[in-house]
Structure 1
Amino acid sequence: MTLLAVERIKLFTTRSPWWCALLTLLITIGFAALIAGTTDSGVGTVASTQFGYSFGLAVIMVLAALAVTTEYRFGTIRTTFQAVPNRTSVLLAKAGVVGLLALVIGEIAAFGSLGISMIIQPEADMALNSTAEWINVVGIGPIYALTAIIGMSVGLLIRHSAGAISLLLIYTLAVESLVGLIPNVGADIQKWMPFHVAEKFLTGDGATRSGMGGPPLSTSPLSPGWALAYFAGFALLMLVIGIGTARKRDA
């Protein structure tokens, strides 16, 4: 508990988490308001309220990466490792705090997006009547939390803010989409890309869209439950690699 308290204090005494949290909420909820305000009256669905979650996801990655790289930049991580030689415990505590913060941000963003859409389109059917619709909204939080762990892990590997953020954004915004364009094998590889699989957890077979447009549906062959497990396993693997690297390097 002491380590968790220390990591919480270190995280919240810097400006970047506050700005990233605010930016995530503004982007996701603002995008939901834009969608609701520009579509025909009564056409909105639960799924359409969450179309902007991927933009907030990118900011969560930045938040998580900065939580680590900023400490390396200013040398505070060295002081922490001197005080607590067990680096694994320190980094697990940091992952817990960053992941929990991302979870809370994700849930606020998801329900905020749903709420603003209901206000703008009160005649639309946006009630959470099915398990798929609940997952579509509540599932944003766990995906944000796991994404934060991935972002933190990349920060541990690279240790430089610009490099870590650039790699994360390029991968999520371009690489997974471009992989599908590779002749013959691209589509098969894309089915197993982590964020492509995470999309399968949130949207399933797309039944909640009820004819609405939006981003392309995931082609992953996994069920939503296994898709979440797959994404969680990838996040855990990245964390293990990140912690293992941090233990071997000089702080």
Structure 2
Amino acid sequence: MTAVAAPTRATVRTASPYRLSFGRVLRAEFLKLLTLRSTWWSLIITLALTVGMALLIAGASGGDVAPIAAAVLPIQFTMLLAGILGAIAVSGEYSTGMIRSTLTAEPLRGAVLLSKAIAVAVTVFVATLVTFAAAALLVAAVSGASIPWETPEASVLPLLYAPLAMAAFALLGVGFGFALRNGPAAIAATVGVLFVLPIVASIFGSVATGWQWVLEATQYLPMNAAQSFIMGGGALDQGVAGLTLAAWVVGLLAAGWLVLRSRDA
């Protein structure tokens, strides 16, 4: 039985009358993502870590940390789960060969990347929105502290910005997945950018004389930008931090699209 190769760019025009609609491709991406055990395990572990660490932070601080702050602080660790989820969602298709079926159903490479990115981002955003809200409410109930709902900047907005940051981390993984097309490589690159690079840059910048610019540059890395974006008051202006996160996402998705567009599956 001969293998059927995914269509190249040269065949897109002739295959286009038989393409699925974008809506059907998008539904298929949601179905694939939500039927993966790795997706549910990642979301469950994110929920457990967020709630558990938020309660520990609130308890260790003696109630000095506000419930919203306690709920979003664990993002420094759970960001890795979001990034890895995004990387696996793409690289898993390359490892199983399913990407050929996907590109046969939708030869337009940009539509494939866009539908995958939307499915991953929406899933992570909705799941972590519930997670952060649950963590904040539990911390408030246990500590007896109140959540200032009348002040959106200290309550509602951080609970929206934190899931947006998690969705951005997941999209970084998607970009690396399409660019590298290999599971371990995509995961390693995602963890490197989100976790390892900020640590290395901070250490190097703090001990190397005359290299203060390295420390300043680390503020534009995804994790540091996310911290300024979620709660405000960081090294970056909140708007600049949000644009920085968006630039990382656009840049890596563009790199993934270029690889997907120029190479056969």
2:217 aligned partner = 189
TM-score w.r.t. length of structure 2? 0.83
CA distance in structure 1 between the aligned counterparts of 2:201 and 2:60, rounded to whole angstroms: 32
Q: What per-residue deviation string (whole Å, max 9, x for no partner) do you get for residues 148-183 of structure 1?
A: 111100011111211211221132222113213323
Q: Secondary structure at the match of 2:220?
A: coil
**CA-CA distance at 1:14 after TM superposition:** 1.7
Runs of 4+ with deviation above 6 angstroms: none
Distance 1:187 1:245 in 2: 32
Residues 199-237 of structure 1: per-residue CA shift (max 9 Å, x gap): 1111211xxxxxxxxxxxx423xx212321221122012
Task: Give 1:1-251 correspondences, 5 Å limit.
Answer: 1-40=23-62, 42-45=63-66, 46-122=68-144, 124-133=145-154, 134-180=156-202, 181-182=204-205, 183=208, 184=211, 185-205=213-233, 218-220=234-236, 223-251=237-265
The superposition leaves residues 92-115 of structure 1 with CA deviations (integer Å, 9 ceiling, x where unpaired) of: 001000000111122112101101
Distance 2:130 2:256 in 1: 28
- Paired with 1:192 and 1:145, the residues of 2 have a C-alpha distance of 17
Stretches of structure 2 lacking an aligned partner (at least 5 in a row):
1-22
Report the alpha carbon displacement of residue 29 of structure 1 after superposing the two structures with TM: 1.1
1:80 shift after superposition: 1.0
Tell me, in whole angstroms, the C-alpha distance in 2 between the residues paired with 1:77 and 1:238.
19
Q: Do 1:44 and 1:121's aligned partners in 2 also have CA atoms closer than 8 Å?
A: no
- Distance across 1 between alignment mates of 2:65 and 2:201: 31
The higher radius of gyration belongs to 2
* Alpha-carbon offset, residue 188 of structure 1: 2.4
**In structure 2, distance between residues paired with 1:140 and 1:233:** 17
- 1:40-64 deviation per Cα after TM superposition (whole angstroms, max 9, x unaligned): 2x42313133211222111011111
Gaps of 5+ in 1: 206-217
Match of 1:210 in 2: none
Taking only aligned residues, the RMSD between alpha carbons, in angstroms, comes to 1.6
3-state SS of paired residue (2:174):
helix
In structure 2, distance between residues paired with 1:193 and 1:60: 16
Percent identity over the alignment is: 26
Count of residues in correspondence between the two structures: 235
Conservation of the 8 A alpha-carbon contact between 2:71 and 2:136: yes
Counterpart residue identity of residue 220, structure 2: W
Taking the aligned partners of 1:11 and 1:49, their CA distance within structure 2 comes to 26
Aligned residue for 2:224, secondary structure, equals helix
Q: TM-score, normalised by structure 1?
A: 0.88
